[in-house]
Homo-oligomer: A and B are copies of this chain.
């Protein structure tokens, strides 16, 4: 089945709690994960939480990468959603697994946008973005 996109849903367990609570580290890891997958970063949003934990989103021209961390549990919830054939979310998965020093993980992949329409293959990657208007 042809689809517009792929989404890998990952649960990383046994991660380095210090890394999970370091927003600068998480931001860099997510940016590098996007680049590793061949994605084009168009915007990002990261937040650190009190007492701890980081949430981060990297909007890419080909969809998005998100992460939410619970340092107290060594756990991170990650979604890697990409569109088009030129981006490989598997590379982002492997990069984050290594960067977070995950001791274990669960992952599954789903297709997004399985459409019964003609002409949607090859899938457009929407590689060109312009600033969003308020």
Closest Cβ–Cβ distance, residue A2 to chain B (whole Å):
12
* Contact between B63 and A55, CB atoms less than 8 A apart: yes
* Contact between B47 and A43, CB atoms less than 8 A apart: yes
One complex includes copies of this chain to the number of 2
Number of chain A residues close to chain B: CB under 8 A: 50
Residues of chain B contacted by A134 (CB below 8 angstroms): 24, 27
Closest Cβ–Cβ distance, residue A28 to chain B (whole Å):
10
A70 to B49, CA, bound (A): 33
Among candidates B43, B49, B55, B129, residue contacting A64 with C-beta atoms closer than 8 Å: B55
Q: Does A115 contact B (CB under 8 A)?
A: yes
Q: Does A1 contact B (CB under 8 A)?
A: no
